[in-house]
């Protein structure tokens, strides 16, 4: 399909007349009219009703117009992407991030981006991991497990898993609590696909114990809100909210912590840009949480 003819069609509709459209397109009206007829022949679809020098969209033309606009937008995006690839630059940064990392790590980092940095577009991480996220279109994936060696990657931070309780709780002020003691209390945990929940269960199993039935949530802030309401101890990796106090967890192997990595395709056309952004994110984590989170 000839994109130039599509542009002539959309321009004519937007201009309101062939005369104005021809002027804006810097062609003569007879040339524009021939091009519009050529498009109708190519599509085998009548787009206009001609009434003297006036053109009105047919019902078929009305239906075709949004399709033409969408195709032209896509073509423009392809051109911009091709230009970006040719220059080795990145106009948009597609990020795949775990929900538990977005609020406290990534969103604050995005607020530090420079005007000439790519525009970030964030979506939830594919639960199958970095490889699946990159295959589905992400430029950079933030993951809680070491990525495949086939990918370029950078260790970003090592963050604690917290037991969070109200400030009035008897545990408030303690630096650590053992998982054996933790499981004797009602727990507010994330569902099984979340890494903090997995790490908790691994630590409990390593201690030869098992968790009591817990209230599950797919959102850490909901678990925190329930903890603030006195419904139990929230086990999350998020910063404290709702006046909660954070207590570190200790398992048989020591502190229970979550590791974060950035991963990207080493053949990506903007791989140096992605590597630099990953380094900046790692530095931001240290600045935000202190040198103790450095991998």
- Domain end point (choices 86, 112, 138): 86
In a domain, 78, yes or no: yes
36/176 same-domain check: no
Closest to 141 measured CA to CA, from 102, 197, 193: 102
In a domain, 287, yes or no: yes
Q: Is 78 helix (H, G, I), strand (E, B) or coil?
A: helix
Q: Residue 21 maps to which CATH number?
A: 1.10.10.10
Q: Tell whether the model's pLDDT for residue 81 goes beyond 70.
A: no
Cα–Cα dist 200/207, whole Å: 11
Structure confidence by residue, pLDDT tens digits, 126-137: 777 889 889 888
The whole-number pLDDT of residue 18 equals: 84
Q: Among the listed ranges 125-129, 161-165, 241-245, which one has the minimum average pLDDT value?
A: 125-129
Q: Tell whether the model's pLDDT for residue 112 goes beyond 90.
A: yes
100/246 same-domain check: no
- Domain end point (choices 60, 86, 112): 86
Residue-wise DSSP of 193-231 = TSHHHHHHHHHHHHTT--PPP-EEES-HHHHHHHHHTTS
| pLDDT band, residue 181 (cuts 50/70/90) | very high
Q: Tell whether the model's pLDDT for residue 85 goes beyond 90.
A: no
Residue-wise DSSP of 130-149 = HHHHHHTT-SEEEESSPPPT
Cα–Cα dist 260/77, whole Å: 32
Q: Can you give the pTM of this predicted structure?
A: 0.69
Cβ count within 10 A of residue 293: 19
Q: Residue 240 maps to which CATH number?
A: 3.40.190.10
245/266 same-domain check: no
In a domain, 27, yes or no: yes
Q: What percent of the chain has pLDDT over 90?
A: 58
Q: Tell whether the model's pLDDT for residue 246 goes beyond 60.
A: yes
What total of structural domains would you count in the chain?
3
208/242 same-domain check: yes
101/68 same-domain check: no
Contacts 24+ apart (CB under 8 A), 55-59: 55/12, 55/17, 55/18, 57/13
100-125 average pLDDT score: 88
């Amino acid at each position: 399909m000839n994109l130039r003819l599509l542009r002539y069609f959309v321009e004519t509709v937007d201009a309101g007349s062939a005369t104005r459209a021809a002027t804006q397109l810097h062609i003569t009206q007879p040339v524009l009219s021939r091009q519009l007829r050529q498009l109708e022949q190519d599509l085998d679809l009548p787009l206009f009703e001609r009434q003297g020098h006036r053109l009105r969209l047919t019902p078929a033309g009305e239906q075709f117009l949004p399709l033409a606009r969408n195709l032209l937008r896509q073509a423009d995006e392809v051109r911009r992407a091709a230009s970006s690839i040719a220059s080795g630059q990145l106009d948009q940064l597609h990020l795949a991030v775990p929900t538990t990392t977005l609020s406290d790590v990534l969103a604050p980092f995005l607020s530090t981006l420079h005007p000439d940095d790519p525009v970030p577009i964030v979506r939830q991480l594919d639960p199958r991991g970095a490889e699946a996220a990159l295959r589905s279109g992400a430029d950079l994936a933030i993951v809680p497990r070491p990525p495949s060696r086939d990918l370029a990657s950078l260790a970003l931070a090592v963050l604690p898993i917290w037991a969070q309780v109200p400030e009035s709780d008897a545990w408030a002020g303690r630096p650590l609590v053992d998982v054996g003691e933790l499981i004797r209390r009602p727990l507010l945990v994330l569902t099984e696909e979340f890494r903090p929940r997995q790490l908790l269960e691994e630590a409990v199993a390593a201690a030869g114990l098992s968790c009591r039935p817990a209230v599950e949530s797919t959102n850490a802030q909901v678990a925190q809100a329930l903890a603030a309401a006195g419904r139990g101890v929230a086990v999350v990796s998020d910063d404290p909210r709702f006046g909660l106090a954070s207590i570190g967890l200790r398992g048989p192997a020591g502190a229970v912590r979550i590791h974060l990595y950035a991963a990207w395709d080493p053949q990506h056309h903007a791989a140096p840009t992605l590597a630099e952004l990953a380094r900046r994110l790692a530095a931001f984590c240290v600045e935000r949480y202190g040198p103790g989170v450095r991998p």
